[in-house]
């Protein structure tokens, strides 16, 4: 298990557990630039951290091939971002027989405003992202996704100026249909 921990003065750190959360250790390699972030393991075993970066208007991606001891960082202009927490998850992995590798990303898809909550799809481990589908046009902020038992995607997010927290679900085929 690996999770992110942000220290606004020193950068993003990871902490991990090899015993299902009984014990935790810090990976003391700060990642910059990074604020609130999410981590996902890529099919090749690399770790990808997707990061909010204050006042840039887009996300940053950080990749480690050595379990967090070193990082290669790059801006990700395909993912507009108004300095807001987001979600990235693995939907499927090509490491499983007959499955395509699919990552999903959700956020307020705007460079300046927390609005246009959108979910995007990547079929190449986050190198490129779909245009995405807007889930909610209005004011929206933090989001979190999961894959439900039936294969649908569950999405929880803040909407309408933080006045409401809502849960929606949709199928991968609906997300991919281009509409």
Phi-psi region of 77 (alpha: psi -120 to 50; beta: other; left: phi over 0): alpha
Name the strand (E) or helix (H) holding 175: helix 172-176
Using pLDDT thresholds of 50, 70 and 90, give the confidence band for residue 9. Answer: confident
State mean pLDDT over 2-18. 93
Q: Which two tokens stand for residue 80?
A: 């507009």
Strands 87-92 and 164-170: unpaired
With 0-12 CB in 10 A as exposed, 13-18 as middle and 19+ as buried, what is 158?
buried
Q: What is the pLDDT of residue 94?
A: 84
Q: What is the model's pTM? A: 0.94
CATH number at residue 43: 2.120.10.10
Q: What is the per-residue pLDDT across 98-157, written as a single tens digit (0 to 9) for each? A: 789 999 999 999 999 999 999 999 999 999 999 999 999 999 999 999 999 999 999 999
Q: What is the pLDDT of residue 179?
A: 45
- Residue 110 structural domain: 2-176
For residues 153 and 163, what is the distance between their CA atoms, to the nearest angstrom? Answer: 23
SS3 at position 33: coil
Which residues, in sequence order, are CB contacts of 52 under 8 Å at separation 6+? 34, 35, 36, 37, 59, 81, 83, 84, 85, 86
For residues 71 and 11, what is the distance between their CA atoms, to the nearest angstrom? Answer: 13
Q: 6 has which bridge partners?
A: 12
Q: Is the pLDDT of residue 5 over 50?
A: yes
**What is the domain count for the chain?**
1
State mean pLDDT over 74-85. 97
Q: What is the per-residue pLDDT across 34-62, written as a single tens digit (0 to 9) for each? A: 999 999 999 999 999 999 999 999 999 99
Q: What is the pLDDT of residue 91?
A: 96
The angle subtended at Cα 100 by Cα 96 and Cα 102, nearest 5°, is 105
Q: Is the pLDDT of residue 178 over 60?
A: no
Sign of CA dihedral 47, 157, 54, 29: negative
Name the strand (E) or helix (H) holding 120: strand 115-122
For residues 66 and 38, what is the distance between their CA atoms, to the nearest angstrom? Answer: 18
């Amino acid at each position: 298990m690996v999770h992110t921990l942000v220290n606004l003065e020193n950068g993003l750190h990871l902490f991990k557990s090899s015993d299902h959360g009984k014990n935790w250790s810090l990976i003391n390699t700060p990642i910059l630039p990074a604020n609130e972030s999410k981590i996902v393991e890529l099919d090749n075993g690399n770790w990808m951290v997707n990061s909010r970066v204050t006042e840039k208007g887009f996300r940053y991606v950080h990749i480690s091939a050595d379990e967090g001891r070193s990082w290669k960082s790059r801006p990700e202009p395909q993912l507009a971002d108004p300095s807001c927490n987001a979600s990235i998850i693995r939907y499927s992995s090509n490491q499983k027989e007959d499955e395509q590798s699919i990552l999903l990303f959700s956020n307020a898809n705007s460079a300046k405003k927390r609005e246009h909550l959108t979910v995007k799809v990547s079929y190449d481990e986050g190198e490129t992202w779909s245009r995405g589908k807007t889930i909610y046009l209005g004011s929206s902020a933090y989001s979190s996704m999961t894959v439900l038992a039936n294969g649908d995607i569950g999405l929880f997010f803040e909407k309408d100026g933080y006045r409401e927290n809502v849960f929606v679900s949709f199928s991968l085929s609906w997300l991919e249909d281009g509409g």
